Amino acid sequence: MNPKSIEKHYQLARELYAEKGVDSDKALAILNGIQLSLPCWQTDDVTGLEYRDKNTNNGGIMATGNYPGRARNITEIRTDLEKVLTLIPGRHRIGLHAMYGDFQGQKVDRNEIDPTHFQSWIDWAKELQIGLDFNSTYFAHSLANSGFTLSSKNETIRSFWVEHGKRCREIAARIGEAQGSPCLHNTWIPDGSKDLVIDKWGYRENLRQSLDEIFTKPYPQKALRDSVESKLFGLGSETFVVGSYDFYLSYALKKQIMICLDMGHFHPTESVADKLSAILQFSDNLLLHITRSVRWDSDHVPILNQELLELTKEIVRNRLLDRIFLALDFFDASINRISAYVIGIRATLIALLAALLEPIDKLLKSEKTGKTHITLSLVEDYKTMPINAVWDYYCLKSNVPPGIEWIPEVEKYEEQVLSKRK
């Protein structure tokens, strides 16, 4: 695309938005300050970097597909992430899982990890001037094969995972201190049953006690922000999930930590967007995991669909940008993994831009005066506005490819780098 044409189209779009009472320059300035937390696990299909016992199952995690070029080590993971960051506008963060420590080929079990195993990640992020976030890893381990970790009735298993949780919080706090901004630490467990469970109370009581132990040690919020993530069902937990939405929402509110809402972890008829204005009446902050579910929690690459647009509009309309942390959580092994990142990240950013370009003051005024026909008309009229001209201009000014001009870059990277991974 010709830069002069992009500039010209933006000026025309800028005038059109201004006529509707929207400052597109201000919208872009706000968008440029939004940081997304990007999942490192898209690079390698959630394989991780630790020693893996051959008897370990996936623990409720499954990346489907066999597209060539999966990252095989820490260097390739970082190389892929660095490439992704050159193709998206803005300055973002990288979300790590505990199984992505720099273990130097040593067997380090989950209850033995410590901050030294993530120092090279801290150094790498500092060099790139980006932030890091962290996730405990309660799946893909022999002590998760039973389907129960923190809620297990086996005290040895439960104690093992409690220790893992404690160490993960320590690591996250160290990361936060080093980078000078809070490290988000999220807790999700695959605990549940494929079929009938009688003692649901017992499992949930165990989970509550385990979480109490893990969260006992206080850390300053400027270094660490904790969250807990619910799920409707998963592989091996089709009938009963210990960490349900009701359980974790109640726990988060009681303990004054964040609830994490994953877009794929609810019934298809539920609106995650609608939950924001309800939860944040009682909680200061929450974490969102942006993904796309197809029929079930399949962690598809986010696209600019209605669900994502409604989510971002709800955030902006209610002025919640400073109270919500945004993270992407998806993994697709069936397509070029760099493309998966770029498509998902750009879709999320465009959805945020679309929300920022709404004539919110006019929408609020018409609704307040009972002129809902005007509200509906404004929303419909907005759908044909030239947001692509604003987006391309943002990419141009951010020195990243506008439109789909990033595709040749990915093709070249695949030819020169990914294709050589056998």
- Tell me what pLDDT residue 295 has: 86
Helices (H), 180-227: 200-214
Q: In Å, how far are 121, 157, 244 from 210, measured between CA atoms? A: 28, 11, 15
3 falls within a domain: no
| pLDDT given at position 57 | 67
Is 191 an active-site residue?
no
pLDDT given for residue 387 in this prediction: 97
Task: Give the CATH number, domain containing residue 181.
Answer: 3.20.20.150
Pick from 211, 126, 101: which is nearest to 166 by CA?
211
155 given a catalytic annotation: no
> Does residue 270 register a pLDDT over 80?
yes
List Cα–Cα distances, 14 to 70, 197, 238, in angstroms: 42, 59, 50
Q: Which of 121, 124, 188, 391 is catalytic?
A: 188
Q: Is 41 a catalytic residue?
A: no
Average pLDDT over residues 148-166: 98
Nearest-angstrom CA–CA distance, 350 and 64? 27
- Does residue 127 form part of some domain? yes
pLDDT tens-digit profile of 346-366? 999 999 999 999 999 999 999
Mean pLDDT computed over 366-387:
93
Pairing of strands 131-135, 324-328: unpaired
What per-residue string of b and e applies to 17-32 under the rule 16 or more CB within 10 Å gives b?
beeeebebeebbebbe
Question: Dihedral angle at the C-alpha atoms of 255, 261, 262, 265, nearest 10 degrees?
Answer: 90
How many domains does the structure of the chain reveal? 1
Domain that includes residue 266, residue range: 35-358
Q: Mean pLDDT over all residues of the chain?
A: 96
Res 399 pLDDT > 90: yes
Residue 366 lies in a domain: no
* pLDDT number for residue 146: 93
The verdict on residue 178 lying in a domain is yes
- Percent of the chain at pLDDT > 70 equals 98
Active site residue 329: yes
Average pLDDT over residues 371-380: 92
246 is catalytic: no
pLDDT at 55: 62
What is the structure's pLDDT at 192?
A: 97
Kindly indicate the confidence band of residue 135, based on its pLDDT and cuts at 50, 70 and 90. very high
Give the pLDDT confidence of 159-213 residue by residue, as tens digits: 999 999 999 999 999 999 999 999 999 999 999 999 999 999 999 999 999 999 9
Mean pLDDT of 375-403: 96
DSSP 143: G
pLDDT at 232: 94
Catalytic residue among 80, 262, 332, 358: 262
Position 61 scores a pLDDT of 78
Catalytic residue among 80, 229, 314, 332: 229
- Note whether residue 19 is domain-resident: no
- Known active-site residue 300: no
For residue 187, what are its two tokens? 């807790």
Catalytic residue among 44, 329, 332, 414: 329
Sequence-distant (6+) residues with CB within 8 A of 194 are 147, 236, 237, 238, 239
Exposure letters 373-411 (e unless 16+ CB within 10 A, then b): eebeebeeebeebbbebbbbbbbbbeebbbeeebeebbe
Please tell me which residue in 9, 83, 231, 313 is annotated as part of the active site. Answer: 231
306-344 pLDDT tens trace: 999 999 999 999 999 999 999 999 999 999 999 999 999
| 164 included as an active-site residue | no
Q: How confident is the model at residue 297 (pLDDT cuts 50, 70, 90)?
A: confident
Catalytic site residue from 50, 177, 226, 297: 297
Q: Which of the residues 9, 164, 289, 300 is marked catalytic?
A: 289
398 located within any domain: no
pLDDT tens-place string over residues 19-72: 999 999 999 999 999 999 999 999 999 999 997 766 666 666 778 899 999 999
Residue 54: the pLDDT is 60
Residues 216 and 165: beta-carbon distance below 8 Å: no
- pLDDT score recorded for residue 338: 98
**Is 411 part of a structural domain of the chain?**
no
Place 122 in a pLDDT band, splitting at 50, 70 and 90: very high
Query: Per residue in 84-110, pLDDT tens?
Result: 999 999 999 999 999 999 999 999 999
pLDDT (tens digit, 9 = 90+) per residue, 225-235? 999 999 999 88
Predicted local confidence at residue 59, as pLDDT: 65
- Bigger pLDDT: 105 vs 224: 224
Residue 57 lies in a domain: yes
116-141: average pLDDT: 97
